[in-house]
Amino acid sequence: MTAAAPGPAVKEVDRVVIRFAGDSGDGMQLTGDRFTSEAATFGNDLATLPDFPAEIRAPQGTLPGVSSFQLHFADYDIRTPGDCPDVLVAMDPAGLKANIADLPAGGILIVNTDEFTKRNLAKVGYTSNPMEDQSLASFQVHQVAMASITRAALEPTGLSKKDAERAKNMFALGLLSWMYNRETVGTERFLREKFAKNPAIAEANILAFHTGWNYGETTESFAVTYLVAPAKLIAGIYRQITGNTALVYGIIAVGQCAKRPVFLGTYPITPASDVLHELAKHKNFDVTTFQAEDEIAGIGAALGASFRGRSA
């Protein structure tokens, strides 16, 4: 009997900046938000920077269509989402090209190689495959066929190849969760709640998440995992808050201080939709929300409400 090979060493660090980048349909915002929630639950202090593509969706795989989410988490009080990522997860050539200049030499680069086809490379102006031409030699590059591995793992579920491949962002989340010693229970619970009306999709995403975790556990390409300890903050009750939520609280506070009812006329569109969703929860503060058929109608409704004395 031979002894089992030791697992990767665990390196303690005080802070990390991770950036997830890919096409607007790759689920980078959900992936980043989920990792953020786990970091907050673990007790890290954190700050995030979601970066959305143009409102009118650009062609798939092009630079204008890149969506990214940056997370800075630490074991001490931090105030910014970080300048440069320590880790860049690139789901396609566009995500790589749009963000690689921000990754410092020696940084960790995790790439979904399935998307590095000649067609996708040409879309963003690559004349050669950066996975093969040594242009990334200054980084710690991990080439992972995320889409292929995810499809293979989900084949027993009966999902189509297209639907199975959509879960590759959960594979990426699982891999990064393993790298930074995050728990899995919270993400499993979140996915079951998010897809409560479609349990098959929930379990498929959970399977993809565990596949990413197990890939990190079994592959020998990662020599180190990392641990960022909980932050030592002043005792008290803390909450996770986004810029949109903070804006909503400010709007409500203005209405209360001015003793005026609040009216929001709007058309839901990312990333502003959260303002509408959050304000609609606070009707008890004399808040009225109106979802119009387009932006112009929303503006017109807000102007009309303002003439009737509402804070609009």
Q: What's 124's domain CATH number?
A: 3.40.920.10
What predicted TM-score, i.e. pTM, was given to this entire model? 0.84
Question: What mean pLDDT is predicted for residues 55-62?
Answer: 81
**Domain count within the chain:** 2
Is position 197 within any domain?
A: yes
- Mean pLDDT of the 31-40 span: 95
**Same domain flag for 14 and 154:** yes
Q: What is the mean pLDDT of residues 31-45?
A: 94
**Contact at 8 Å (CB) between 123 and 101?**
no
Structure token pair of residue 91? 């789901």
**Does 23 share its domain with 135?**
yes
d(CA 254, CA 259): 8
What is the extent of the structural domain holding 300?
A: 243-307
Do 36 and 177 sit in the same domain of this protein? yes
Q: Is 122 within a domain?
A: yes
Given this model, what pLDDT does residue 59 score?
86
217 and 125 both lie in a single domain: yes
Please determine, for residue 22, whether its predicted confidence score (pLDDT) is greater than 90.
yes
Q: Are 291 and 268 in contact (CB under 8 A)?
A: yes
Beta strand 262-266 with 287-291: parallel, antiparallel or unpaired? parallel
pLDDT of 200 higher than 60? yes
Q: Is residue 179 domain-shared with residue 302, that is, in the same domain?
A: no
Confidence band for 55, pLDDT divided at 50, 70 and 90: low
The pLDDT, as a whole number, for residue 120 is 96
Same domain, residue pair 152 and 278: no
- Tell me the torsion sign for CA atoms 44, 49, 55, 56: negative
Q: Please determine, for residue 3, whether its predicted confidence score (pLDDT) is greater than 70.
A: no
Mean of the pLDDT values across residues 61-89?
A: 95
